Amino acid sequence: MKKLVLAYSGGLDTSYCAVHLSKDEGYEVHAVSVNTGGFTSEEIQRIESNAYKMGVSTYKNIDAINSYYNKVIKYLVFGNVLKNNSYPLSVSAERIIQAIEIVEYAKSIDAEYIAHGSTGAGNDQVRFDMIFQTLAPHIEIITPIRDKKLARQEEIDYLKANGVDMSWDKAKYSINKGLWGTSVGGEETLTSEKPLPDTAYPSQLKNEGSEKVILTFEKGELVAINGKKNSPEKNIEVLNDLATPYAIGRDVHVGDTIVGIKGRVGFEAAAALIIIKAHHLLEKHTLTKWQLQHKEYLSSFYGMHLHEGQYLDPVMRNIESFLESSQAKVSGDVIVTLKPYHFSLDGINSKHDLMNAKFGSYGEMNKGWSAEEAKGFIKIIGNQNKIYHQVNSES
């Protein structure tokens, strides 16, 4: 039989693929799910049980949370990456790691084919195909949903006809949960004017009042919360558990898809938004103005390339090297106050804080230079403007 690895989520599309490819096409289907956060052990067991009902030969769940953090999330934090100044790339980032893990597994079992359930109208088809083609050009990619242009009801009818009569009722809102945030799609996000209702978000407001949290960073990585040390990926989970009862981190992102159309998606990413904003505040105190300036545009390019599926381009490793080197002095505490629906950044404590009073206080007193030196500096720094306006005063 032809050995095939299927990127399996357990949803309708990948369930159709599992049955169709094993029953009709004669493939030996090896289903793989990649955990990038958001899976409970009970959910993994349910997905595995359902996979075998679909006729797969084997099922494997790959725990990639640590890999996800070290290969992607770490650099999104270093770069303070927010797509269109709002979205922390929750879904697009995890798809990259899922694709890499799936293709590496396919190579490890000498599979000749890889299949996924993407349609022809979204971003994921691009991300999966590009990584599969780059890392395993000898493996053929199979995409039944895209190739057949199947409607949802056609898939349901097919599965029922083949004895798979599960509940395929379409939820009012589609939820995709991962370590770096949860995406939320619904009828409102298909429009340009409607907001998502509060009930669409998976986390509801439970806590009133406010709560202070101290985030400790070492070289740009979140290493402790309220003095308790843990791995950065575990700290993301801890912070998310602290912040989501305040319904923090909700927004709707409007962006450009890889295939050239505009799209809207709701998201809930409490930990991601707090970490990025807290980290950026710490950088404002510990980096020079030129470091901050050059980081900003390189980080924007990094986020764009990641979103577009260009993770394997060598320029991404170049930018990662720059981002990592910029974090040498980004260490200290950031004090954050959690409140219903929002948070505030109170301040920082760091031995690398460049807002050092012995050099002078902004707008108050100069300690490191004289008045005459200030006048000379201002005269020289204004030369370019003075020359330009004098030369062009009559034109």
State residue 395's pLDDT score.
Answer: 63
Q: Rounded CA gap, 195 and 187, in Å?
A: 10
| Degrees, nearest 5: CA angle 345-206-174 | 95
pLDDT digits (tens, 9 = 90+) for 32-68: 999 999 888 999 999 999 999 999 999 999 999 999 9
State residue 170's pLDDT score.
Answer: 73
State residue 359's pLDDT score.
Answer: 66
State residue 357's pLDDT score.
Answer: 65
Q: Rounded CA gap, 149 and 27, in Å?
A: 21
Q: What structural domains does the chain harbor?
A: 2-161 (3.40.50.620), 174-287+326-349 (3.90.1260.10), 358-389 (no CATH)
State residue 363's pLDDT score.
Answer: 65
Q: Rounded CA gap, 14 and 10, in Å?
A: 6
State residue 361's pLDDT score.
Answer: 66
Q: Rounded CA gap, 6 and 55, in Å?
A: 12
State residue 120's pLDDT score.
Answer: 87
Which residue stretches of the chain have pLDDT < 70?
171, 357, 359-365, 395
DSSP string, 11-34: SHHHHHHHHIIIIIS-EEEEEEEE
Instruction: Return the exposure string of 217-233: e unless at least 16 CB atoms fall within 10 Å of the residue's CB, then b.
Output: beebbbbbbeeeeeebb
Eight-state DSSP code of residue 72: I
- Pull the structure tokens for residue 67: 């890999």
Would you say the pTM of this structure is higher than 0.75?
yes
- Pull the structure tokens for residue 364: 């108050």
State residue 92's pLDDT score.
Answer: 87
Sorted by sequence, the CB contacts under 8 Å of residue 100 that are 6+ apart come out as 71, 131, 135
